[in-house]
Amino acid sequence: MKAFILNRYGKKQALRLGDIPEPVTGPDDVLVEVEAAGLNQLDSKIRDGAFKPILRYKPPLVLGHDLAGAVISVGANVRRFKPGDAVYARPRDGQIGTYAERIAVNEADLALKPANLSMTEAASIPLVGLTAWQVLVERARIKPGHKVLIHAGSGGVGTFAIQLAKHLGATVATTASAANAGMVKALGADIVIDYRIQKFEEELSGYDLVLHSLDAQTLEKSLKILKPGGKLISISGPPDPAFARAQGLNAVLRLVLRLMSAGIRRKAKRAGIDYSFLFMRADGEQLERIAKLIEDGTIRPVIDRVFPFGQLNEALAYIDTGRAKGKVVVTMK
C-alpha cells in the first residue's frame, strides 16, 4: 500500500511516497481504510527529531496522528466495531501512521465518526480534541465561573479549546492577532489579546488556568496572571518528572527532564501555582464524548486548508509556517 515514509530525522525533512507492507492486525485491532488524515505540529517535531530521546520511533517510519475512515475488518476480540463503520481516531503512541492508505488501530482508541461531519472534518478533530479535553476536563476540571487563558487561540488546539472551555462555563481569554480576533470571538472567546500590541500579563489577572502552547518566555509570563492554586498546563514543554515516569524513561532521561523543567517548576511553586506538562494520549471513550458535543452543535471543526494526499509535504510545509487557522487535512479521495 502507499504511504509517506520518513527515512531519516531532519529539520523539514521531506517524506517519501512509497510502498510499505499491509498493516498487521492483532486480536484487539481494527483495520481502517484511511479517507482523511489531520496534520499536527507533533508530526513536524517528530520529523525534525525533537522527540528522539522520549519517543521510541526509529526511521523508516510513517507519521500521522489523526484519521477518519471506514472499518475494513476487525480482530477476534473486537466487539464495538464492524466492517463498514465510519470511525475516527488518534492512534496510540507506537501505532501511529495515518499518512498511509490503511492502518491497524487498537479498538480502545477508536470511536464512531460524528454523524454530522464529513470524513475530512472528522479527521481534523482527534488530536486537538483529546488535548483540549485532557487539559480542561480531566486535569484542570474547569467549572462554571472559572477563568481560562488559551494561548494561540486561532491554532488547531486553540480553536477547539475555546469552544470546549466556553461549553464548560468558563470565561475565556485568548491570544491572537487582530486579523484572527473575529474568528476566535465567534468561537466563544470573551477576551482577545492582540499579542502584537498588547501584553497579556498586564491585561489579565486572577485566572484559574493557562493552556500554554508557545515558547519558554510566554510560559514564564503566564505565571503572573494565575491566582494562587491556579494551574499552568503546557503542551509544548518543558516535560516534567511526572511525564518522564509515565513514559517509563530511563534514569538518565528522567534526570534530564527534571533539570529541564526545574526552573519553571520552582517559580510556579513559589507563586503557589501547579505546573504540569501534558502529552495527550489516545482515548476512544473521550472521542465518543467529543462526538456528542459535535453532533449537538456545541463544537464545530475549524479547517484552514485541505490538500490531496499526494501533496502531503506541501501540507506539512504550510503547517511549519505557523499561520494555519485551525487544522490542515489531507484527503485520500
Is residue 296, in this structure, part of any structural domain at all? no
Instruction: Rounding to the nearest 10 degrees, give the CA dihedral for residues 257, 261, 266, 271.
Output: -140
The tally of domains found in the chain comes to 2
115 and 148 share one domain: no
Is residue 195, in this structure, part of any structural domain at all? yes
Domain range enclosing 312: 2-125+301-331
CATH code, domain carrying 64: 3.90.180.10
133 and 270 share one domain: yes
In whole angstroms, what is the distance from residue 333 CA to residue 321 CA? 26
Place of cell 507533533: 42
In whole angstroms, what is the distance from residue 28 CA to residue 222 CA? 42
Backbone φ and ψ for 145, nearest 5 degrees, come out as 95, -15
Note the Cα 277 to chain centre separation in Å. Answer: 13
pTM of the model: 0.97
Backbone φ and ψ for 173, nearest 5 degrees, come out as -110, 150
Non-local (6+) Cβ contacts of 227 within 8 A are 205, 206, 207, 208
Residue 56: predicted pLDDT: 84
267 and 207 share one domain: yes
Non-local (6+) Cβ contacts of 266 within 8 A are none
DSSP single-letter state for residue 271: T
264 and 155 share one domain: yes
Residue 247: predicted pLDDT: 87
120 and 131 share one domain: no
110 and 135 share one domain: no
Residue 123: predicted pLDDT: 98
Residue 215: predicted pLDDT: 96
Q: State the amino acid at position 119 in one-letter form.
A: M
Is residue 88, in this structure, part of any structural domain at all? yes
State how far the alpha carbon of 38 is from the alpha carbons of 16, 193, 300, 311, 330, in Å: 18, 28, 15, 13, 6
In whole angstroms, what is the distance from residue 153 CA to residue 199 CA? 15
121 and 179 share one domain: no
CATH code, domain carrying 208: 3.40.50.720
Question: In a structure prediction context, what are the per-residue pLDDT tens digits for the chain, which is 333 residues long?
Answer: 999 999 999 999 999 999 999 999 999 999 999 999 999 999 999 999 988 888 889 999 999 999 999 999 999 999 999 999 999 999 999 999 999 999 999 999 999 999 999 999 999 999 999 999 999 999 999 999 999 999 999 999 999 999 999 999 999 999 999 999 999 999 999 999 999 999 999 999 999 999 999 999 999 999 999 999 999 999 998 999 999 998 889 999 999 999 999 999 999 999 999 999 999 999 999 999 999 999 999 999 999 999 999 999 999 999 999 999 999 999 998
Residue 77: predicted pLDDT: 98
In whole angstroms, what is the distance from residue 157 CA to residue 13 CA? 24
State how far the alpha carbon of 217 is from the alpha carbons of 75, 127, 213, 223, in Å: 48, 25, 11, 11
